[in-house]
Structure 1
Amino acid sequence: MSTSRLIDFHSHWGTERGWRGSPYATAADREALRGYFKWDMQFVSEDAQAARFRRDEVQVMLDFAFTYTMDIGEVREQHDYAFDYAGKHPDVGLGNWIGIDPTQPAHVRELDRCLREGPGLVGLTVHSFTPAGTPDDKGWEACLNMCIDANRPVLVHVGMSATGAGTRGGMGITLEGCHPRYVDRIAARYPDLNVIAARVAWPWQSEMIAIALHKANVWMELHGWSPRYFPEELKREIGKRLRKRVLFGADYPMLGHDHLVAQWREQGYAEDVLHDVFHGNAESFLASIGVR
């Protein structure tokens, strides 16, 4: 069992290297993100990031988010960078979400390498705006089956996306691709696949709740939102029917773990509910896939 008070199923890198290849790699590109998250993009070293996680008593799943846009050499370098970090800081590095372009055979081979060789928990993250389209499209089939064979989860983003928010055209991203119907479809099509819905699913929260209640192979992690802004029906269900289906997610460095914990406590949840959200549900999930 973990000794951490938090298991964070979705955050990003606080290091400059961790943002390589993203739409926010340059100072000019970061202005939209700065306005949305009120974060000034001050990067830290790898050791300082690990120290921050130790201070907050958290183990973290880290996501590069934009490696699917890179050529295979750059993708492999980013993954090796992540794996080196996990090897040096195993007490705070739970694992990594791997984002690839499944229409490129070299990317698919790289996912296979990561699933076989990556330290800690390695899972596939799916963005509907990749060339393969939404996760129910045939382009994702081989990768989803690889995750089933490896008994590793798939992270599917739902709800309002911060990427492109506040920009003209939203960086070309259509929010329809973030509808939770795609979680429902792949969970039904692949009953042996563990699917984690990433983010609060607003404006489709009712649909996401129904899917999580209907499919035993679906979980929800709620990164990117302060719990004070959760839709009311989500707040109610966290302490009731969804109590065992919710995983904590932060979205560090945009949102800090210490502030989020305080905000969760402000909502008046019982201590045993918070225990489940902060780490109990994650420990059960990890044990079920052989990570703990």
Structure 2
Amino acid sequence: MDLSKIKAIDVHVHAEVSCHDPEDPVMAQYFDAASAYFKAPRERPKLPEIVEIYREQKIAFCLFTVDCESGMGAKRISNYEVADFAAQHSDICIPFASIDPHKGKFGAREARDLIENHGVQGFKFHGICQNVSPSDRVGYPIYEVIAEHKLPAIFHTGHSGIGSGMRGGGGMRLKYGQPILVDDVAVDFPDMKIILAHPSWPWVDESLSMALHKENVFIDLSGWSPKYFQPQIIQYANTQLRHKMLFGSDFPLIHPGKWMDAALKAGFREEVLPGILKDNAAKLLGLA
């Protein structure tokens, strides 16, 4: 990847529709609700459409699905499909994978194969959708493989658009999005770079504290338009956490161009924006 040819790195992009299989009917109802919540288009773009959008914007991106087969009963998009597609567009697409923590040692086997034979460069976990605390020992065999290869892992934190407005929240338990639940993982796996996804509302200060306290903890700012960020996010992004904040959009629910336009007006200092938009992620991902 030639960093001089891209203007940003989006560390949070979802692959939600397979190129080979139809949309999963279980996920369809959650997509309906999430689209209404975010006021986003209901149709989910397939992988070729995603790469076309990002290539036009000159933005590199980390692409992943969310494996919630145990927690939600929804068939996942294959990590291998994502990895193989990314390999065809390696100038701009960075493959991440997602493995349900409930898969334990068998999931660890998949993680190792994806890293060693398919070029996967990071992982995504979503405790709310996977119905498990990030610090539950059931996922530790998978974390061990990630840490062994010194790769990053993204953990969903805070409120979830998935299930918002549905009866009983669609069965999603928000408690698993509390950032402090990831603190044990940060302690037990110091060689694994941990990215706390989203501004973590209503637990914003927990994420800021963890990023200040743990050398291996970072924050991606996806899932919210910067115009809605709480003041302390801007404050710490401009000062003590300027090297720990990462641009993420949460595409397809938020368009990367709209996120970046809003960021210019959100109060970030001019000198910190290059780090947030590209440089911090390039260093974390080993691209620079």
- TM-score of the two chains, using structure 2 as the length reference: 0.89
SS at match of 1:223: coil
CA distance in 1, matches of 2:3, 2:112: 27
Query: Would the alpha carbon gap of residues 93 and 19 (structure 1) be closer, same or farther in structure 2, given more than 3 Å must change?
Result: farther
2:40 partner amino acid: W
CA distance in 1, matches of 2:285, 2:273: 18
1:116 maps onto 2:119 in alignment: no
Match of 1:65 in 2: 66
Q: How many residues align?
A: 282
CA distance in 2, matches of 1:55, 1:190: 37
The residue correspondences of 1:117-266 to structure 2 (distance < 5 A) are: 117-119=117-119, 121-130=121-130, 133-266=132-265
Match of 1:12 in 2: 14
Q: Which stretch of the first structure deviates more once superposed, 54-63 or 213-222?
A: 54-63
Instruction: Answer yes or no: is the 8 Å Cα contact 2:111–2:146 preserved in 1.
Output: no
Query: Would the alpha carbon gap of residues 126 and 154 (structure 1) be closer, same or farther in structure 2, given more than 3 Å must change?
Result: farther
Cα deviation code 1:200-251 (max 9, x no counterpart):
1111111211111011110000111000101111121111111110011101
The alpha-carbon deviation at position 78 of structure 1 amounts to 1.4
Instruction: Answer yes or no: is the 8 Å Cα contact 2:249–2:256 preserved in 1.
Output: yes
SS at match of 1:216: coil
Q: Which stretch of the first structure deviates more once superposed, 39-48 or 50-59?
A: 39-48
Q: Structure 2: where are the runs of 5+ without partners?
A: none
SS at match of 1:140: helix
SS at match of 2:102: coil
CA distance in 1, matches of 2:199, 2:22: 23
| Two-structure CA RMSD over aligned residues (Å) | 2.4
- TM-score of the two chains, using structure 1 as the length reference: 0.88
Match of 2:39 in 1: 38
CA distance in 2, matches of 1:78, 1:159: 26
Alignment counterpart, residue 27 of structure 2, candidates 24, 29, 50: 24
CA distance in 1, matches of 2:223, 2:141: 29
Instruction: Answer yes or no: is the 8 Å Cα contact 1:64–1:99 preserved in 2.
Output: no
CA distance in 1, matches of 2:45, 2:176: 33
Query: Would the alpha carbon gap of residues 183 and 22 (structure 1) be closer, same or farther in structure 2, given more than 3 Å must change?
Result: farther
SS at match of 2:10: strand
2:243 partner amino acid: K
Query: Would the alpha carbon gap of residues 19 and 211 (structure 1) be closer, same or farther in structure 2, given more than 3 Å must change?
Result: farther
Cα deviation code 1:72-105 (max 9, x no counterpart):
xx76x71221122112211221222323243354
1:176 partner amino acid: K
